[in-house]
Amino acid sequence: MAIEVRKVVLESVGDASGLASLIDEGVFDADGVIAVVGKTEGNGGVNDFTRIIADQAFRKVLMAKGTRPVEEVDEIPMVWSGGTDGILCPHATIFANVEDDGPVSDEPRLAVGYAMSDVILPEDIGRPAMVAKVAEGVRRAMKAAGIEDPADVHYVQTKTPLLVMDTINDAKERGHTVYTEDPLESMNVSNGTSGLGIAVALGEIEMPTAEQIGHDLSLYSSVASCSSGVELDQAQTIVVGNVRGAGGRYHIGHDVMNDALDREGVYRAIRDAGLDLPERANSDDLDGKVVNVFVKCEADPTSHLRGRRQVALDDSDVHHHRHIKAAVGGVVANAVDDAAVFVSVAAIHQGPSGGGPVAAIVDLG
C-alpha cells in the first residue's frame, strides 16, 4: 500500500465534487480515504458552521461511493480550518490508501497515522492535563503511521475542543474553573496547549508547567498545526511523516516561517521535502511538484514586524486573526503561485513567536 494525496477546490460551501471526481476517475477508492485537511470560507471563529457543512458533504460522498458503514465513515479524521481571508481559496487535501504495484524506493515516502485522545474536559483546556492527553494521542498516531523516530514526523494536525458558554457553565457546576471565559480566546488557548502536547510527544520540549502554558513563548513545536472548534470533545490527531519502504511517490518536509514576511521559510520546507531548488527560489522553480503547503501564523505579540510598527492587535473592527491570515496567505500563495494553500491562525506554541511552522508535500514521481 501507498499514500495518494490530492488537493481539490471547494467551489461552494458544501461542494465535494472534487472528491467525487477523484473517486470516479479511479485515482483512489472511496473506501481508501483515510484523512482530509481543508480550508472553508466561514469566519474562522467559534460559530463558523462552514466547517460542519463541508464535513457533512465529504462524508456523504464517501458513503454514496464506498462500502464502509456509516460508523466507520464518521470516524475518518477530517480537520476543517475556517476562514479564507484575502486571496485564500477554500480547498481540501485528501489522503488515501492505494495499491502500489511499482518498485519501492529506497527513500522514505509519505505515511499517515490517526488517533483520538481521551476526552478533553473543559477544565483541561489550557492546562497540563490537556498537554498530556494530546501527547498520548500523538504517540498513538505515530504508531498507526509506522513512524518510530520523531525526526520522521513533519506535520501534526490536531482538532480539539474549545470553550463555549455551555461547557464553561458545566465545569463551574462540577466545581471546576476554566482557563478563560472568553470563547474566542479559548481557541488560542486550545490550539497552544495542543501545540505543547505535540512538542512533548516528539521530544521537542519537556512537560511544561501550568504557568508556562500560554505565556512562555520560547516553548513550541516546529511541526504542529492546531485547530479547535465545537465539533468534538477529544483531540483528533493526524500525523504525517516519512517511512522507508512505504511506497508511493510523495514526500513531506518542514521548516518554520520566522515572521509573516519569511517567504524563504516556505522554500526551506519544500527543499526539506526533497525538491531541489536554487538558492533564490521562486514559484517557477517548483515545476508543479508541490501538492500543498500547510502553514500556521499569528500577529506578532510585540506589534512590530522587522522594526516596523503593526496595528492589527489594536484593531477593534477586524480581529487580528483576519489580518494576519490574509497577509501570510498572500505571502505563501505568491511563493508557490497558488491561492489554495492551508494557512491557519492562532499559532501560539506552534513555531516561533510571530511566525509559524510550514509543512510541504511534494510529488517526487
Which residues have a catalytic role annotated?
Answer: 159, 227
Nearest residue to 132 via CA among 121, 143, 147, 146: 121
Q: What is the 3-state secondary structure (H, E, C) of 209-252?
A: CHHHCCCCCCCCECCEEEEEECCCCEEEEEEEEEECCCCCCEEE
CA–CA–CA angle 221, 181, 237 (5° rounding): 35
Written as nine digits, the cell of 45 is: 471563529
Rg (CA), the chain: 19
Written as nine digits, the cell of 13 is: 460551501
Residue corresponding to grid cell 490527531: 237
- The residues pairing with 308 across neighbouring beta strands, listed in sequence order, are 305
List helix spans (H) across 26-76. 50-65, 70-74
